[in-house]
């Protein structure tokens, strides 16, 4: 039995991602079974036309699921490629990067469409936040790779004289990149670009919660890149588990702390080093001595205009003084209307919530008894469209759930304090976040903030932008993660920095060999300390 045209039409109108439960009876060969939408992301369709019934039918070819054996096979295959030396040479790396560049040019529309399907992401946001970032990452690697690959010469001292030394960057081998759903394109390709530029073979596992992008990545990588060294594995928990059983030379994981622990535990079995890009509650401290309009625009940009709050570096909550809060809320109200119109639920410029389970989670945060009466703006929601309006809550209690977990949505608690310095204690009482923001003109406050608040990165008087800077490492600390990447840091993240020391056969200092004597000890002292004067004195017997 084949799927009829009717069902196909229904399917194509489903643009809302994995949130829709879509099931239909379907017969393949002689079996009847129910398929849910999740599986469809791993299927491909081939069309047959039948002139007798004048209908178009589709046959579903399911791609084989990846189990532990297949994962082992995949890892072995890629390791073979790596061991052959194919990925190590400069030309191969450049060719892959150039192909990625070409892919971004040619498939930009497909990428934007997939992001819209998965997240209702406005095209401009898709361009700014994802596509252009990947483009510039690729461009930088293409421009700088030859320089990055040069061994770094280092100085040597009297201790090892005569000698010369250098640090050589070499690929780690076969690496695994596990990415997430909120910036599914960027957070998949950016690390992959780093891995390729460092000369590794790569397996990418995109998130199943953004299935259109996952499928697109799978197809694009197959079309544009070297299959013997770069592969995409789609799927969810089972596939990820199968992959994590294998030995990788490095794993870069972007996602939640809970799954980050699972990844690190699996990596420990193979002594695999990991980079964990996690999240946290990124605070924004707002002073009163600022250009309010600009600050508020930048805060909105860092929350609702950035995947509608679903960003690891998005502003999670605001801290400001009791006196300033009303002014701040008014300014936010005004600018939100400028950005999204009178009814934000109708605005095309706002992303939706990614899935019904996340929607339910956010709804319960809002409905919590402790906070439901603290809403001062917004609160509207539409479960069918998976949209929640920009919502501001004032002075929620510390023990409310909304202050205990990363919000990852369009809810913005504003906490008020007597003096702004009191905000430090609040931030320090929580796990270290991925980013911390401060809006102020007070130089001393800026200094104190930098000195006393620990976070992955910091931005004064703006939000989000610091991660678009190639010269800065992007990564967390404490609960927000370990390791970093972006720019040259990506190349370094996927390289082993091998120390190489060249010694000459001339001038062998027998002072370091047994039999040991006091005279030798004196000479050793001088040599090890690099102290020429003591050396001379020791030589002449003092």
Q: Which is nearer to another protein, 341 or 379 (CB)?
A: 341
Cα 203 from Cα 231, distance rounded (Å): 5
Does 379 interact with another protein (rule: CB under 8 A)? no
Q: Which is nearer to another protein, 58 or 301 (CB)?
A: 301
The answer to whether 111 and 185 are in contact (CB under 8 A) is yes
Q: Which is nearer to another protein, 20 or 496 (CB)?
A: 496
Cα 252 from Cα 190, distance rounded (Å): 11
Distance of CA 176 to the CA centre of its chain: 13
Binding residues for another protein restricted to 204-263, rule: CB under 8 A = 249, 257, 260-261
Q: Kindly report the number of other CB atoms within 10 A of residue 184's CB atom.
A: 28
Report the nearest approach of another protein to the CB of residue 415 (Å).
Answer: 21
With CB under 8 A as the contact rule, the residue among 95, 160, 219, 534 that binds another protein is 160
Q: Kindly report the number of other CB atoms within 10 A of residue 76's CB atom.
A: 12
**Cis (ω within 30 of 0) for the bond into 309?**
no
Q: Enumerate residues 6+ apart whose C-beta is below 8 A from 388.
A: 308, 353, 359, 362, 363, 378, 380, 381, 382, 409, 410, 411
DSSP one-letter code for 303: T
- Using CB under 8 A, count the residues that bind another protein: 117
> For residue 201, which of 87, 96, 97, 90 has the smallest C-alpha distance?
87
Q: Which is nearer to another protein, 396 or 420 (CB)?
A: 420
With CB under 8 A as the contact rule, the residue among 403, 483, 491, 494 that binds another protein is 483
DSSP 240-255: HHHHHTS--SEEEEES
The answer to whether 195 and 215 are in contact (CB under 8 A) is no
Distance of CA 338 to the CA centre of its chain: 30
The answer to whether 182 and 172 are in contact (CB under 8 A) is no
Does 142 interact with another protein (rule: CB under 8 A)? no
Cα 66 from Cα 204, distance rounded (Å): 13
Cα 275 from Cα 241, distance rounded (Å): 18
With CB under 8 A as the contact rule, the residue among 50, 498, 536, 539 that binds another protein is 498
Strand partners, 435: 457
Q: Which is nearer to another protein, 64 or 541 (CB)?
A: 541
Binding residues for another protein restricted to 20-39, rule: CB under 8 A = none
Does 147 interact with another protein (rule: CB under 8 A)? no
With CB under 8 A as the contact rule, the residue among 35, 38, 377, 524 that binds another protein is 524
Does 109 interact with another protein (rule: CB under 8 A)? yes
Does 515 interact with another protein (rule: CB under 8 A)? yes
Cα 487 from Cα 509, distance rounded (Å): 44
Report the nearest approach of another protein to the CB of residue 464 (Å).
Answer: 9
> For residue 313, which of 344, 352, 284 has the smallest C-alpha distance?
284
With CB under 8 A as the contact rule, the residue among 479, 490, 535, 538 that binds another protein is 479
Does 14 interact with another protein (rule: CB under 8 A)? no
By DSSP bridging, strand 174-178 and strand 201-205 are: parallel
Binding residues for another protein restricted to 400-439, rule: CB under 8 A = 428
Binding residues for another protein restricted to 349-378, rule: CB under 8 A = 349-350
The answer to whether 291 and 216 are in contact (CB under 8 A) is no
Report the nearest approach of another protein to the CB of residue 427 (Å).
Answer: 13
With CB under 8 A as the contact rule, the residue among 324, 331, 339, 430 that binds another protein is 339
Cα 332 from Cα 56, distance rounded (Å): 53
Query: CA triplet 261, 235, 70: central angle to 5 degrees?
Result: 95
Does 47 interact with another protein (rule: CB under 8 A)? no
With CB under 8 A as the contact rule, the residue among 1, 5, 14, 154 that binds another protein is 154
Is residue 312 flagged as an active site residue? yes
Does 167 interact with another protein (rule: CB under 8 A)? yes
Helix (H), strand (E) at residue 356: helix 356-367
Report the nearest approach of another protein to the CB of residue 200 (Å).
Answer: 12
x-or-dash pattern for another protein, window 436-455, by CB under 8 A?
Answer: -----x----x---xxx-xx
Report the nearest approach of another protein to the CB of residue 503 (Å).
Answer: 4
Binding residues for another protein restricted to 262-321, rule: CB under 8 A = 264-265, 267-269, 271, 273, 276, 278, 290-291, 294-295, 297-298, 300-301, 305
Which of the following is catalytic: 277, 335, 406, 479? Answer: 277
Q: Which stretch binds another protein (CB under 8 A): 67-75, 157-165, 202-210, 224-232?
A: 157-165
Q: Which is nearer to another protein, 128 or 370 (CB)?
A: 128
Binding residues for another protein restricted to 118-137, rule: CB under 8 A = 121-128, 132, 135-136
Find the length of the chain. Answer: 542
With CB under 8 A as the contact rule, the residue among 113, 245, 421, 442 that binds another protein is 113
With CB under 8 A as the contact rule, the residue among 17, 206, 378, 481 that binds another protein is 481
Binding residues for another protein restricted to 78-97, rule: CB under 8 A = 83, 85, 88
Cα 525 from Cα 159, distance rounded (Å): 10
Does 331 interact with another protein (rule: CB under 8 A)? no
Report the nearest approach of another protein to the CB of residue 213 (Å).
Answer: 14
Report the nearest approach of another protein to the CB of residue 146 (Å).
Answer: 16
Does 108 interact with another protein (rule: CB under 8 A)? yes
Which of the following is catalytic: 130, 138, 312, 406? Answer: 312
DSSP one-letter code for 3: B
Q: Which is nearer to another protein, 157 or 357 (CB)?
A: 157
Cα 215 from Cα 6, distance rounded (Å): 23
Q: Enumerate residues 6+ apart whose C-beta is below 8 A from 142.
A: 94, 97, 98, 101
Is residue 277 flagged as an active site residue? yes
What amino acid positions are annotated as catalytic residues? 277, 312
């Amino acid at each position: 039995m084949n799927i009829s045209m009717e069902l196909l039409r229904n399917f194509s109108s489903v643009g809302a991602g994995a949130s829709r439960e879509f099931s239909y009876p379907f017969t393949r060969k002689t079996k009847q079974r129910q398929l849910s939408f999740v599986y469809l992301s791993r299927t491909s369709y081939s069309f047959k036309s039948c002139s007798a019934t004048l209908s178009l039918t589709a046959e579903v070819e399911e791609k084989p699921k990846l189990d532990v054996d297949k994962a082992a096979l995949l890892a072995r295959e890629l390791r073979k490629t790596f061991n052959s030396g194919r990925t190590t040479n400069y030309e191969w790396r450049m060719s892959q990067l150039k192909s990625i560049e070409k892919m971004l040019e040619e498939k930009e529309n497909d990428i934007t469409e997939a992001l819209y399907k998965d997240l209702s992401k406005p095209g401009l946001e898709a361009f700014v936040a994802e596509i252009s970032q990947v483009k510039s990452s690729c461009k930088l690697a293409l421009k700088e790779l030859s320089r990055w690959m040069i061994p770094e010469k280092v100085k040597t001292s009297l201790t090892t004289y005569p000698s010369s030394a250098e640090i050589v960057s070499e690929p780690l081998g076969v690496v695994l990149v596990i990415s997430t759903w909120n910036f599914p394109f960027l957070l998949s390709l950016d690390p992959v670009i780093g891995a390729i530029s460092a000369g590794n073979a790569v397996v990418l596992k995109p998130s199943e919660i953004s299935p259109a992008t996952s499928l697109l990545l799978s197809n694009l990588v197959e079309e544009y890149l070297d299959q013997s060294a770069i592969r995409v594995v789609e799927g969810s928990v089972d596939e990820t588990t199968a992959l994590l059983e294998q030995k990788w030379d490095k794993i870069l994981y972007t996602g939640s702390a809970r799954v980050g622990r699972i990844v690190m535990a699996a990596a420990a079995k193979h002594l695999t080093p990991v980079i964990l890009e996690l999240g946290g509650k990124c605070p924004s401290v707002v002073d009163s001595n600022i250009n309010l309009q600009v600050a508020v625009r930048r805060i909105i940009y860092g929350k609702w205009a950035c995947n509608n709050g679903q960003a690891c570096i998005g502003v999670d909550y605001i801290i400001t003084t009791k006196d300033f809060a009303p002014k701040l809320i008014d300014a936010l109200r005004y600018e939100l209307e400028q950005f999204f119109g009178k009814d934000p639920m109708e605005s095309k410029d706002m992303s939706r919530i990614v899935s019904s389970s996340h929607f339910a989670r956010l709804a319960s945060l809002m409905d919590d008894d402790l906070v439901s009466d603290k809403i001062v703006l917004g609160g509207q929601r539409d479960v069918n469209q998976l949209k929640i309006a920009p919502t501001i809550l004032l002075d929620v209690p510390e023990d409310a759930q909304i202050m205990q977990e990363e919000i990852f949505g369009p809810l913005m608690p504003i906490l008020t304090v007597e003096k702004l310095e009191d905000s430090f204690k609040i931030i320090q009482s929580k796990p270290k976040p991925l980013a911390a923001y401060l809006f102020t003109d007070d130089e001393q406050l800026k200094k104190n903030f930098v000195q006393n608040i620990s976070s992955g990165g910091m931005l004064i008087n703006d939000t989000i932008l610091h991660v678009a800077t190639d010269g800065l490492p992007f990564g967390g600390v404490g609960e927000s993660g370990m390791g970093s990447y972006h720019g040259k840091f990506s190349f370094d993240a996927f390289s082993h920095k091998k120390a190489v020391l060249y010694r000459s056969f001339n001038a062998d200092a027998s002072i370091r060999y047994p039999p040991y004597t006091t005279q030798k000890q004196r000479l050793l002292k001088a040599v090890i300390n690099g102290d020429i004067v003591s050396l001379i004195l020791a030589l002449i017997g003092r």
